[in-house]
Amino acid sequence: MTDRHVLSEPIVITGIGMIASVGDDRESVWQAVREGRSNFRYLRGIRGIVDDTIVGATVDLPQRLDGRLKVLPLCETAAAEAMADAGVEMANIDADRFGCSIAGHMGDTSWIDEQLGKPLPERRPNWWEQWFPNTACSLIARKYGLGGPRLCNSTACSTSLISIMTAVRAIRDRQCDIMLAGGADALDPMFVAGFDRMRVLAKDDDPNRACRPFDQTRKGFVFGEGAAIFVIERLGHALRRGATIYAEVKSTSALAQAHHVTGVDAESETLDYLIRSALKKANVQPEDIGYINAHGTGTEQNDAAEAAGIRRAFGDLTDGVCVSATKSILGHMINAAGAAELAITTLGLRDGFAPPTLNLHNPDPLCTFDCVPRTGRTNRYQHALKLSLAFGGHLVAMVLSRWNDANTGFAYPPTYVPAVTGSSHQTGYPSPSVDLRRSM
């Protein structure tokens, strides 16, 4: 096999693991997303919050944390499911050619309580877990005995999508044949308090209606917890071990928007260029894209700038593309957001379904394309685009193509029928007020 052939070999997705507020595994999360069931609730007892209340989409873990950072079992859960989904048997894989690219994350900030004279938890994380942002990456690599590259980055809410991009590049650079890639995140009091001070957190009398991207009445985003991990590998490696393939990663692109730490360029010239570059690298025409999973935070600036960038890049074709913001269902998972939304995009390709944007009743005139309002629908698209627009000017675009080979890929399922019909907003979970004083 020549070097030229190795570098041009397709990179494919063969395993997905996911956990979020709406489900504790990949398929239950996907089912909730398809049916438009969010699980937002009031959270109280978080230090530093002015009025002691925010809306969040948290994950209730069945196991005791016993002093561990919550992000770690979230990551472990998703990684284990991804490995099982991909049918990975380590005995049959060269561990030295198996790498790990997991998003960086917050450490232990409970020491702030000590400074404030508040009681500390009975157990706290081990010293090596307290601040190292690469703890999850190292933990997962050790758990599976992965001897390939261990890569970790921190690029705000594009972090996990860049982790996947980094994994793809590591394979293309011949550093390894297969990678675990993605990220996890859990609500951290100091982080939440910072965003609360910025006044970008959404609230509503009904917490499940708090996040409404692309709507004229949008108020901001809602924090979410969860994880999404992928198994990504060379096509030849996947075929040799008999893996089932979801999609091909056609291209990945990242650019810096040198504009402002938190603000965005309203003209969206950089995003326009990024999208065009990603499509060109993928050898995919704008008219071939059937679905875009938007960053779609529900903040006024971000939504308008993203909409402008999409419309600039797609021009008259914009109205023919489904564009949804699934943070309206899962919340904003920050470091895990890009991976979780890429997982939704991949499952949408598999099943031929465009997930909805919840709570979209009054579209902003600047966001008038097809945002799949309130109810998802069958849409057997072959190519999809995932976008992340992070604080600090980190812009990322990834193009996926459905794997249509009958012998190695997934067949389309029968026409989808929602479990509950007749409602534009289906919420299958209660929305209690949760006091986090005892669990933080």
Would you tell me which CATH number, out of the four given (3.40.47.10, 2.60.40.1120, 3.30.420.340, 3.40.50.300), belongs to the domain 3-417? Answer: 3.40.47.10
Q: Which of 100, 137, 237, 295 is catalytic?
A: 295
Which pLDDT value is given to residue 55?
95
User: Which residue in 397, 65, 418 sits closest to 225, CA to CA?
Assistant: 65
User: What pLDDT is recorded for position 263?
Assistant: 54
pLDDT on residue 240? 97
Contact 54, 192 (CB under 8 A): yes
Averages of pLDDT over runs of 10 residues in the chain (440 residues) are 61 98 98 97 86 92 78 96 98 97 82 68 67 87 96 87 96 96 92 83 93 95 96 97 98 78 66 96 97 93 91 94 97 95 98 97 91 95 93 86 96 77 39 51
Closest by alpha carbon to 110, among 122, 102, 128, 100?
122
In the 3-class helix/strand/coil scheme, how is 209-246 assigned residue by residue? HCCCCCECCCCCECEECEEEEEEEEEHHHHHHCCCCEC
Instruction: From residue 114, give the alpha-carbon distance in Å to each of 69, 118, 131, 264.
Output: 17, 6, 16, 37
Write down the pLDDT at residue 188. 85
Find out whether 416 and 350 touch, Cβ atoms under 8 Å: no
* Cα gap 244→246, rounded to integer Å: 7
What three-state secondary structure class fits 95? helix
Q: CA-CA distance, 275 to 419, in Å (whole number)?
A: 36
Q: Residue 132 has which token pair?
A: 């190292």
| Amino acid occupying residue 247 | A
Write the Ramachandran bin of 393: left for phi over 0, alpha for psi from -120 to 50, otherwise beta: left
pTM for the full predicted model: 0.91
Half-sphere exposure of 72 (CA within 13 A, CB side): 26
CB contact set of 88 (below 8 Å; sequence gap of 6+): 15, 178, 231
Catalytic residue among 332, 383, 394, 425: 332
Q: Which of 75, 100, 152, 157 is catalytic?
A: 157
3-class SS at 10? coil
Output the pLDDT for position 190. Answer: 80
Q: Is 295 a catalytic residue?
A: yes
